[in-house]
């Protein structure tokens, strides 16, 4: 059986999605530990060589580009057929995808067809030195523990990885590799589902994924009316507003704001946690932020253990003072 590591690299509008470069970084480390090739699989229509070369410059050795007009947009049936066919022919040892809408949909479909296991929403991947098995770590039991799973039988070993849990792989302009273009048979791309249109998110102000600064609020705010204070701080910083699960469950903010295990995983330049205790479910969604500022009245709050800077105090005194200082700084 071939020992290669594969990733599913997503594309949209004939451009490789940035999350694919995060997958390159995860998988390159695994491939190096196993001393094997790393391949990326892209499904689309008429993707230019320049886009596919981005994957090679980010660490892959080979790119399989499966092309057909029916694959331009994601549809589960044709995607699983062409992927299952390619996996059966090439027999990789490991196949990974990001835990995006596409990855969370297609990977269980493929694992069922291949009758192999799948570990979803991993936050850590590594190779077991003694056996070469893929070690797949993810939150379990409601996020209260971190479980490490391995598949001693059945190949490929399959897993999805939380987006933003790893920085993108750096680009190396000098890297070389091969591009293999594949034309699937018409019966492989047939689908009972047709693509109609994309509906934009109704809450356009929620831009957690791409925001360089995120100010998140927890139940320490006390009541919904106090969220206005956080919006004021976010406005001064040009930041997006995030929330813990409890804030969303209480209806103070809507689900697109939720950060954590059951919400979004983000990696902003600065993450400000206000009145958030730091349950492991929440930490799973933001602990890879470049800088973390936590404001909490409880000096033993878990969020302070991961924060670069912790302020122990009454948020209703600290946040207004911070807003005032920011405004004074702008004037000067």
For residue 144, the model assigns a pLDDT of: 63
CA dihedral 118→149→129→170, nearest 10 degrees, is 60
Domain(s) of CATH 3.40.50.620: residues in the chain:
5-188
Nearest to 271 by CA among 313, 234, 216: 216
CATH number given to 5-188? 3.40.50.620
Instruction: Identify whether the C-beta of residue 163 lies closer than 8 Å to the C-beta of residue 101.
Output: no
CA angle 44, 110, 165 (to 5 degrees): 75
SS3 content of the chain, % helix, strand, coil (to 5): 35, 25, 40
CATH number given to 213-331? 3.40.50.1220
Instruction: Identify whether the C-beta of residue 180 lies closer than 8 Å to the C-beta of residue 63.
Output: yes
Residue found under tokens 């004021």? 232
Residue 264: DSSP 8-state: B
Instruction: Identify whether the C-beta of residue 249 lies closer than 8 Å to the C-beta of residue 258.
Output: no
Digit-coded pLDDT (tens) for 102-118? 999 999 999 999 999 89
Secondary structure class of 327 (helix, strand, coil): helix
Nearest-angstrom CA–CA distance, 305 and 277: 10
Q: What residues pair up with 139 in beta bridges, in sequence order? A: 146
CB atoms within 10 A of CB 233: 20
Instruction: Identify whether the C-beta of residue 22 lies closer than 8 Å to the C-beta of residue 162.
Output: no
Maximum distance among all alpha carbons in the chain?
A: 67
Is the N-terminal amide bond of 156 cis, ω within 30° of 0? yes
Instruction: Identify whether the C-beta of residue 40 lies closer than 8 Å to the C-beta of residue 64.
Output: yes
For residue 141, the model assigns a pLDDT of: 65
* Whole-prediction pTM: 0.71
Nearest-angstrom CA–CA distance, 180 and 80: 19
Q: Which helix or strand (DSSP H or E) is residue 96 part of? A: strand 94-98
Using a 10 angstrom Cβ sphere, with 0-12 exposed, 13-18 middle and 19 or more buried, the burial of residue 166 is: buried
CB atoms within 10 A of CB 44: 24
Residue 103 backbone phi and psi in degrees, to 5: -65, -40
Domain(s) of CATH 3.40.50.1220: residues in the chain:
213-331
Residue found under tokens 């947009």? 73
Nearest-angstrom CA–CA distance, 249 and 252: 8
CB atoms within 10 A of CB 48: 9
Residue found under tokens 């791309």? 189
Nearest-angstrom CA–CA distance, 19 and 24: 9
For residue 1, the model assigns a pLDDT of: 41
For residue 153, the model assigns a pLDDT of: 82
Instruction: Point out the residues of the chain with pLDDT beneath 70.
Output: 1-3, 141-144, 199-206
């Amino acid at each position: 059986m071939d020992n290669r590591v594969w990733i599913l690299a997503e594309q949209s509008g004939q451009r490789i999605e940035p999350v694919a470069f995060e997958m390159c970084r995860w998988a390159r480390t695994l491939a190096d530990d196993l001393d094997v090739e790393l391949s990326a699989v892209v499904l689309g229509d008429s993707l230019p060589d320049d886009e596919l070369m981005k994957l090679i410059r980010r660490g892959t050795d080979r790119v399989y580009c499966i092309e057909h007009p029916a694959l331009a947009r994601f549809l589960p049936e044709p995607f699983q057929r062409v992927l299952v066919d390619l996996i059966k022919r090439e027999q990789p040892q490991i196949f990974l995808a990001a835990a995006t809408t596409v990855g969370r949909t297609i990977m269980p479909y493929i694992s069922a067809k291949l009758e192999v296991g799948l570990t979803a929403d991993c936050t850590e991947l590594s190779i077991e030195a003694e056996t070469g098995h893929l070690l797949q770590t993810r939150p379990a039991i409601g996020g209260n523990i971190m479980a490490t799973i391995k598949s001693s039988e059945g190949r490929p070993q399959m897993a999805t990885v939380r987006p933003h849990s790893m920085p993108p792989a750096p680009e190396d302009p000098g890297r070389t590799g091969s591009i293999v273009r594949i034309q699937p048979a018409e019966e492989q791309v047939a689908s009972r589902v047709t693509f109609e249109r994309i509906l934009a998110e109704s809450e356009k102000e929620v831009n957690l994924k791409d925001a360089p600064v995120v100010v998140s609020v927890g139940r320490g705010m006390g009541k919904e009316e106090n969220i206005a204070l956080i919006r004021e701080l976010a406005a001064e910083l040009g930041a997006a507003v995030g929330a813990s699960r409890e804030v969303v469950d209480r209806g103070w903010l809507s689900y697109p704001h939720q950060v954590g295990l059951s919400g979004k995983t983000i990696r902003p330049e600065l993450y400000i946690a206000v009145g958030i205790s730091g349950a492991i479910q929440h930490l799973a969604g933001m602990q890879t932020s470049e800088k973390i500022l936590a404001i909490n009245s409880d000096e033993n709050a878990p969020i302070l253990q991961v924060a670069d800077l912790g302020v122990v105090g009454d948020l209703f005194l600290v946040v207004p003072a911070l807003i005032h200082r920011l405004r004074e700084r702008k004037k000067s």
